[in-house]
Each structure stands twice: as C-alpha cells, then as structure tokens.
Structure 1
C-alpha cells in the first residue's frame, strides 16, 4: 500500500508518496486538513505527517541537508513511473549539477530529441525537487514548473536557493 508523507520545507509542503524503500512521487502541495484524510482513505493511501519510519527519517534528513546546503546531492532511492523516453529525460536531469541550468534545447540535443518532447517529460516528472527539472529553462525565459505556470515562483526560488542569479 502506498504511503503519503507530508514534509514541511522552507518552500512549502512537500507531499511524498513512497513504499518505505523508494520515493515514487514528490510534489509541492497546499494541504486542506479537513478533506485530506477522507480523500486518502477512499484511495487506499496512508497519510503520515513528518518522519514516522526509518525511511521517512531518511527523507527528512535529505531534505534538511538540501535546504541547509544547496549543493547536497540526494542519496535516496527514486522509482518514478513513466515511459522509457521520460525515464531517459529524468535520468539526464539527475546529472545537471547544482547551481547550473540547461536549456530545453540543449538537453534535447544531448538526447537526440526535440525541446518540446523534453519539456513534456519535465512536465510529467513525478518526483519534483529530487529529479531537478527546475534546472531546465527556456531559451529566452525560465519556462514552467510542474506543468503549471503559476508554480514558476517555486522554480525560481529553487534556482535562487541553488545559487542561480535570477
């Protein structure tokens, strides 16, 4: 059964779905406590808040390390679900160094793909922050984040945290 754990970060609540051994999704969310438990129970998901298991403690330690030392490289097992192409893009994102950005076009060229296809794979990234799609930007702008133009401020905050001049 999937477990959803909520972690409070300097940038807001991070909802992480995991199985106790690997992270399957991580997204920044706004939480409505009045409906969260009921909705989760209907979906067969257990909701936990904060570290309640050794794996959750590891996640909390990794998040703490990242938000105190931006060049921290996450050392946690990730298991994103996606197509073979999406997996290729997400693996390429993992090697973009902290404090650096890459354009959709440059990433696409390295994968022998198109910028639009790379953008779509970034949009479908289920493990934001841990798979750093925020480090991919447009040729003339910062692009979007999490498939939502309104989340651009979050992308900019992450880039600023990592030392990118905005």
Structure 2
C-alpha cells in the first residue's frame, strides 16, 4: 500500500502562495471553477482528505448543497480550514466561511493553486499523486510571478 505522505513538502508554511484575487493566474482552473465549481471543490476535497473521500462524491455533495440549499459555502469552508491548518496558512482576508460566502470562486481557485504550488496535481486525485511520486515525478513549486511554459 502506498504511503499516505503527500508527494512533496517543498513549499514553505505560513503564507499563501498566491492572493485570493489571483484567479486568472491559472486561467483553465478559473474557467472550470466559474462554470462548474463542484469539480474544483471535489478535487480539492480529495487531496485535503488524503484520499479518504473521492472527488466525485465530494463534488456531488457540493452540487446538491448548491442546488437545494445555497449553503455549499459552509461545506467548502471546512476544507479551506483543513488546508490552512495543514500548511499553517493565515485566515486572510477574513475567516474561512466569510471568504467562501462572499468570494466562493476566488477561494476555490486559490485553494486549487495552493495545492498545485505544494506539489499536487489535484486533477490526478490522491492516488494519482502518490503514483506520480512513487515513479519519481514531482512537480516543482511554482512561485508567484514566475514564467511558465
């Protein structure tokens, strides 16, 4: 059975790698999050939960909450809190639930970028990231403002 350690702990703790409003720095994720936030949320949830929940199940629950209650922000803010605790990130610019209530898309985009910065590819899921790590494929951290190909 593969280790439950994350693929890479190469990034520092204590600061977000990008700002809340830097959504367009990852245009494809920004578009996906605007039009289908349940997919972005599901991918984040699977990585944050270290594979104990699937992205499909988390995304589906997020969609149901969105369609029938409008309070999906309460569900997603829990995952922002978990992510912040894991990497000792500050609650900026305000509390997790307020960020998700007022800036849901920006918050999801920032969390997705943070996981990518810390060596994960959320699109691969938890097991995919473990396999990539075991095969020696480790994504280097991408700092804010660095050139990308």
TM-score of the pair, normalised by structure 1: 0.26
Task: Considering fraction of residues, name the structure with more strand.
Answer: 1
Q: Which has the larger radius of gyration?
A: 1
Task: Considering fraction of residues, name the structure with more helix.
Answer: 2
